[in-house]
Each structure stands twice: as structure tokens, then as C-alpha cells.
Structure 1
Amino acid sequence: MAQGAPTPLRSLSSEKVVGLSTLFVALAAFSWGLSGGIGGILTGQGWDPVVVSFYRGAIGLLFVLAWLAIRPHGSGLASGRMWFWSAIAGLGVAGNFTFYFLSIAEGSVAVAATLMYCAPVFVYLVSFALGLEKPTLFKWVAIAMVMLGVVLLTGIYDIGAGDVTPIAAGAGLASGLSYAVFIFGFKFAAPHGSPQAILVIAFAVLVVILFGLGDPDQTVAVLSTPSWPLFVILGVLGAGLSFIFYIIGLNHTAPAVASIVAMVEPVTASLFGVVFLSETLGALQVFGMGLILLTVTALSVYSSSQKQSVPPQPRAD
């Protein structure tokens, strides 16, 4: 992909660049964690998860449009393949946002965020099926460990006593699967255009889909509700600055480091739920959460060390 004008990071020393890049990835993960908590507040107030997701994506669209306007070089907007795969990425991110907030509304922020963090497992399973990744014993054991963590976290082994409803668990896993769709769409679009152009198309697709699926009355009511500042903060943190920070940060951050730093998201979301939403988790749930987070991170680090990270990340123009 053609490279545009140098980013501000490239004028700094290599050590400072790496440090700032890692900080950007951490800020993105922290912002996504906070967005889960804010989404929990809004859905707790009775707002439709689809409407909450719509505004998160719509505000994010404004930010990536501005990014594309500032750096239009190498956009690839003339490429039909870029449009197609970007639209697939848009379907993925629309499902990711909506199922995530639905899981929060039906369960808790901690459970939803952790289940969404299972996305790399779905990526590996699809990659195995398509022949993009070679299955190994380590990968299968890691996937099994994540599945065990899901069982402990959701409590599905004891239906009568489980605090997590089937809808909450299913939506949480669906959000992870949707994020995997976004990853593949973004991966296949990347060779044909710039990240900012891909995100513009993806968020535009999200806005069109969720506007049609959402409650029209609630969509309009957001504009005059006292809660509108939360919607703005959600959009800025959850889709605007966070995606830009993450993509720019990945330019100079090793995939293994990014995988570890990304744990900031579910940890932040879980702490937000406990402190501000009075959510609680049992001992087995906490163990299951830790098992998922540590295993997914180890799987990502292992993949990076084998130079088989999924997917390879594009550079920001």
C-alpha cells in the first residue's frame, strides 16, 4: 500500500516512538473498556443497545472522516475490492457493538467484555478452516482452555444457579465472532486502501444498518435527552479517538506487546462494572475470566513469536 506523508511519530527517536505507540494502544484499550461501562449505564437507563451502538458508530464516523480528510493520500477509494471488504468489516463492527451492548444489558460489563475478548479464538478457527493458519497442539490446547474459561465465567454448567443468562452469554460470544469478521474484512481491505478510508466505509455501513434496525423514537429522543453527554463520550472514546490511536499505535508496537496491552480493555470494563455499576463476580467466574484473558494473550504472543500473527496490521498513511 502506498505510504502517505510521515506521521508525527516518525520524527522522534526510535525508543520514544515505541513508547508512544504502546501508549496509544493502551489508551485505545482503556477507552474501549470505559465505553463498555458507559454502555452499561445507558442500557441500564433503558436505551436500546442498537441505538447506543448507532450513536457510538455515528460519532466514530465523524472522526475517521476528519482523519481521511487530513490524510487522503493512498485512500484506495477507487478500488472495488477495498469497498467490498470494508463493507464486510462494517457488518462485523456493527454486530460487535450491538451484541456487546446487548450482552451488557442482559448480563454484566465484566462478562460481556471478557467474552468479546475471545475474538482471537474465532479468528483461529476460521483461519484453520480456510487454511490460513496451521493447527498445532498448543493452539488447540489454548482454544480448549478458553472454552473452559467461558464455561466457568458464564456458569452454564449449573443452569439453575448461573447468574449469566443464555442471551447474555450468547450475545457476548456473538460480539467476539462479529469482531473476528471485522478483523478479516479489515485484513483483506488493507492491501487496497488506507486504514482511514477502510474505517470510513465500515462505519458508514454500520450507521446505515443500525439506523434501520434501531427504534426510531429512541434514535430521535437521544438528541434531547439529559444523557446525551454520555452518548457523545461513548462515541468519542469507543469509536472516534480509540480506533485512530490503536491503528497508529500498531505501526511501531510488536503484536505480542499489543496483545498484552490489549488486556487493559476487559480489566478496565470489569473494574468499571464493579465500582460504578455494583456488579459482582463469584470466585469461579473470576477464575474463568483470568483463564480466558491469560490464555488468549499467551496465544497471541505465541503466534507473534512464530511470525504467524492474525491478522497482519496495516500501516497508517
Structure 2
Amino acid sequence: MVGASTALVALAAIFWGLSGGIGGILMADGWNPFVVSLYRGAIGLLFVLVWLMLRPHGSGLSRGRLWFWSAIAGIGVAGNFSFYFLSIAHGSVAVAATLMYCAPVFVYLVSFALKLESPTVPKWAAIALVMVGIILLTQIYDIGAGGVTPMGVGAGLLAGLSYAIFIFGFKYAAPHGSPQAILSIAFAVLVMVLILPADVDQAIAVLSSKDWPFFAALGVFGAGLSFVLYIIGLNHTAPAVASIVAMVEPVTASLFGVVILNQYLAGTQILGMVLILVTVTSLSVYTSSAQPPSYLSPR
């Protein structure tokens, strides 16, 4: 059971990694990042609604706190999807995926500010190492190098911050209802939020476009199956193991960008990526060993 659960977490991480590459293909074809994000969330909503109908017990849908915190989670995942694809459009899949992987760092900073976590030397050292990794990865000292723009860097970091908001929303909603209920509300909020910035004409055009299979694959793998598999897998997977396995996501996204999209990373960028991935994973494992809050996992 444990091995199967870990495999589900790994499969979800692979799907998330592939979703970045699929989004990159769609935006290279001229599709608006908000339209891409909208379809990813809308198809994900259909999946979690089916999950909720199949497993309605203990949904907690009558509880106001579930709706409030799930809505916060929805705002977070809407920002995560949108900023992630904006970062890809203005940079590369590898850089965007790695910057988003920094979400646990934002979780710690917010936790420190709200006094939910106690600052320690190892935590501050890890945050400092991640900052160094970000500088190397984005080449912010020579902005524009390697195809990375200020918009790409900013959007990538905001994707990580948005995911941190989703993590907090999900964490505080969890005691009041089931995961499928939380995700149903969150994805519904995502759809409502992204309708405004999305290009309506493009959104309608998707239905008759030759690219619709890519949109379908993005929604199924990037939000539908992936979230369901990840949450089911976490039931029998230790947080430390999940943190390590989650590294599959940025690695998969990076390989997709290099192999399929012909995107290039300089040696210093690869060093920065490795520094971020190793540090964030180690930080998550360290936290899981001390007190197991699975919400601090990169995914």
C-alpha cells in the first residue's frame, strides 16, 4: 500500500511537470496564458466534482469555514496557474517550474510573520541558499540572459507565493470537510476569478480549435487526475517521502522544456536549479521529521 501510494504521488508530480510543457506549447501557438489557466482549472473542476459525487460522505459543505478557506485556496490556485504560465511565456518552463517549487519558502516566511512557525538557524540558512539559487537560476544580475525576463522572474515567484496561499487555504479548510469538497470549491472559485482576465473570444475559439486535445490533456493531467492522485497518495505516504518525490515535477518540466521546446539552460542556471531543488526538498524533509505538517511539501 505504501509503495502504491508513493507511486501515485510520483505520477501526480510527473503530470504537473508535463502540464508546464503542454502550456508552453499552447502559448507558443498564441494562446493567452489566462485562457490556458482557465481551461486547466475548469477541466480539473469537472474531475473533482465527479470525485465529490462518488464520495459525498463527510463533505462539510454546510460549514461556512469550509467555504471561506476553500475560497482562499481557490484564489491561491488561480494565481498559481496564471502566474506559472505567464512565467513560462516570458521565460522558460524550467525556470518557471523551479521558481514555483520555492513555495515552501514563502510558507515559512508567512508562518514566521504570523508566528505559526519558530525561526531556526537551519530554516534561515535554507531560505538564504534558495535565494542564492534563484539568483543563479534567473541570472538576475544579467537579466535577459538565457531568455529570462523580469516578467518571467516576477511571475514565477508569484506562482510560488500563490501556491503558498493555496497551501494555507487547504490546510485550514481540511478540518471542516473532505479534500474533494475543498477542491471543488477551490476550482469553482478559480473559474470565476479567471473569467475576467481571460480573452473571451479565445476561450470560445478553443472549442473549435485544432489545439483542443492539448487543452484537454492539460486539464486532465494538470488539474484533474494529478490533484486526485496526489491527495489519495498522501494518505499512505510519509510527508518526507512526498517532499522528495515531488522533485519529479520541476525535473520533468525542465526536461520537457529542453527536449521538446528546445529551451536552453546555462551552466550557472543548472547549478541554481539544483541548489533550489536540493535545499527545498531537504527543508521539507527536515520539517516533516520534526513535526509532520504535510502542507509544507512542495506540492
TM-score norm. by structure 2 comes to 0.98
User: Which residue number in structure 1 is paired with residue 45 of structure 2?
Assistant: 61
User: Which residue number in structure 1 is paired with residue 55 of structure 2?
Assistant: 71
Cα pair 1:118 1:176 within 8 Å, conserved? yes
Gap change, CA 1:231 and 1:114, over 3 Å in 2 = same
Q: For 2:168, which of 179, 184, 193 is the aligned residue?
A: 184
Runs of at least 5 residues in structure 2 that lack an aligned partner in the other structure? none
Hey, what's the Cα distance between the residues in 1 that align with 2:37 and 2:231? 21
Give yes or no for the alignment of 1:195 onto 2:201.
no
Q: For 1:115, which of 99, 118, 127 is the aligned residue?
A: 99
CA deviation vs aligned residue, 1:53-97 (integer Å, no higher than 9, x gap): 000000000000000000000000000000000000000000000
Superposition deviation, residue 312 in structure 1? 7.4
User: Which residue number in structure 2 is paired with residue 41 of structure 1?
Assistant: 25
Aligned residues: 297
Hey, what's the Cα distance between the residues in 2 that align with 1:162 and 1:42? 21
Indicate the SS of the match to 2:4.
helix
Hey, what's the Cα distance between the residues in 2 that align with 1:299 and 1:22? 19
Indicate the SS of the match to 1:157.
helix
Hey, what's the Cα distance between the residues in 1 that align with 2:292 and 2:187? 28
Give yes or no for the alignment of 1:229 onto 2:213.
yes
Cα pair 1:154 1:163 within 8 Å, conserved? no
CA deviation vs aligned residue, 1:4-38 (integer Å, no higher than 9, x gap): xxxxxxxxxxxxx1011000000000000000000
Runs of at least 5 residues in structure 1 that lack an aligned partner in the other structure? 1-16
User: Which residue number in structure 2 is paired with residue 146 of structure 1?
Assistant: 130
Superposition deviation, residue 307 in structure 1? 1.2
Cα pair 2:92 2:147 within 8 Å, conserved? no
Hey, what's the Cα distance between the residues in 1 that align with 2:230 and 2:159? 19
TM-score norm. by structure 1 comes to 0.92
Percent identical: 73
Indicate the SS of the match to 2:142.
coil
CA deviation vs aligned residue, 1:281-314 (integer Å, no higher than 9, x gap): 000000000000000000000001111535379x
Cα pair 1:155 1:163 within 8 Å, conserved? no
CA deviation vs aligned residue, 1:36-57 (integer Å, no higher than 9, x gap): 0000000111100000000000
Give yes or no for the alignment of 1:103 onto 2:91.
no
CA deviation vs aligned residue, 1:84-120 (integer Å, no higher than 9, x gap): 0000000000000000000001110000000000000
Larger radius of gyration: 1
Hey, what's the Cα distance between the residues in 2 that align with 1:267 and 1:175? 17
User: Which residue number in structure 2 is paired with residue 309 of structure 1?
Assistant: 293
Kindly report structure 1 stretches of 4+ aligned residues shifted beyond 6 Å. none
Hey, what's the Cα distance between the residues in 1 that align with 2:197 and 2:60? 30
Hey, what's the Cα distance between the residues in 2 that align with 1:113 and 1:54? 19
Deviates more, 1:71-80 or 1:150-159: 150-159
Cα pair 1:156 1:162 within 8 Å, conserved? no
RMSD value over aligned CA atoms?
1.1
Give yes or no for the alignment of 1:158 onto 2:103.
no
User: Which residue number in structure 1 is paired with residue 202 of structure 2?
Assistant: 218
What one-letter code is carried by the residue in structure 2 that aligns with 1:191? P
Gap change, CA 1:291 and 1:223, over 3 Å in 2 = same
Indicate the SS of the match to 1:213.
coil
Superposition deviation, residue 213 in structure 1? 1.7
Superposition deviation, residue 159 in structure 1? 3.2
Cα pair 2:144 2:150 within 8 Å, conserved? no
User: Which residue number in structure 2 is paired with residue 277 of structure 1?
Assistant: 261
Superposition deviation, residue 158 in structure 1? 2.0
Hey, what's the Cα distance between the residues in 2 that align with 1:135 and 1:18? 32
CA deviation vs aligned residue, 1:214-271 (integer Å, no higher than 9, x gap): 0010000000000000000000000000000000000000000000000000000000
Cα pair 1:153 1:289 within 8 Å, conserved? yes
Give yes or no for the alignment of 1:238 onto 2:187.
no
Give yes or no for the alignment of 1:27 onto 2:20.
no
User: Which residue number in structure 2 is paired with residue 12 of structure 1?
Assistant: none
Give yes or no for the alignment of 1:204 onto 2:204.
no
Hey, what's the Cα distance between the residues in 2 that align with 1:185 and 1:109? 26
User: Which residue number in structure 2 is paired with residue 249 of structure 1?
Assistant: 233
Hey, what's the Cα distance between the residues in 2 that align with 1:139 and 1:107? 29
Cα pair 2:129 2:275 within 8 Å, conserved? yes
1:3-14 paired onto structure 2 within 5 Å: none
